[in-house]
Amino acid sequence: MQPADLFQHCPRCGQPKKPGAARQPFHCDACGFHYYFNACIAVAAILLGPDDRALFVRRAHEPAKGKLAVPGGFVDLGETAESALRREIKEEVNLEVGPLEFLCTALNQYIYRDVTYPVLDLVFITRSNSLDGIAALDGVESFCWIKPEEVDPEEIAFPSIEAAIREYIGRDARPKFKH
């Protein structure tokens, strides 16, 4: 079920949605309320180690429990993409990272409690300042280092991450920042 399908009544005045009304935007004829359903924003990192292997995490929870992903998560209100990514990396694997280089955006759908959320992933490339203290923490069952070109696409949790890995592999030049 898409978020727009959940709005059967106006959240301002409570009037029922008219049969056949447009899904986007939600519009209430009774009070004039408008609501646009937009994509959620998420961030992800192709986090490189000293040998140019990337850090992959095995997801501990649904969706895609047991599948490989890269560190990342949703951007909270009031956060920039960069600060959200740094927070997520710290929460998931206890690492702090250096400069972030933007790689690409990718579309995703995230199913949570029977609602399918449209997501726009912002993917960056980075390196950790130090690998000391790395640990599988929030939502992470385990982690491993794999060369991006060697990861099995069938093991990747989300199509957006698979697309970002393909984008990374297809780049003419590796990251512009220094080791």
Predicted confidence (pLDDT) at residue 146 exceeds the cutoff of 80 = yes
Predicted confidence (pLDDT) at residue 123 exceeds the cutoff of 90 = yes
**Domains, in order of start, for the chain:** 1-37 (no CATH), 40-170 (3.90.79.10)
Tens digits of residue pLDDT in 40-75? 999 999 999 988 899 999 999 999 999 999 999 999
63: helix, strand or coil? coil
| pLDDT in the model for residue 179 | 44
pLDDT grade for 173, boundaries at 50, 70 and 90: low
Predicted confidence (pLDDT) at residue 22 exceeds the cutoff of 60 = yes
Q: How many helices (H) and strands (E) does the chain have?
A: 3, 9
Q: Cα(35)–Cα(11) distance, rounded to whole angstroms? A: 9
Mean pLDDT estimate for the chain = 92
Q: Cα(137)–Cα(147) distance, rounded to whole angstroms? A: 22
| pLDDT in the model for residue 174 | 58
- The CA dihedral of 170, 127, 47, 77, to the nearest 10 degrees, is -110
Are 123 and 28 in contact, with CB atoms under 8 Å apart? Answer: no
Q: Cα(18)–Cα(31) distance, rounded to whole angstroms? A: 13
Predicted confidence (pLDDT) at residue 133 exceeds the cutoff of 70 = yes
What is the radius of gyration, based on Cα positions, of the chain?
19
| pLDDT in the model for residue 6 | 82
Which range, 13-22, 45-54, 85-94, has the best average confidence (pLDDT)? 85-94
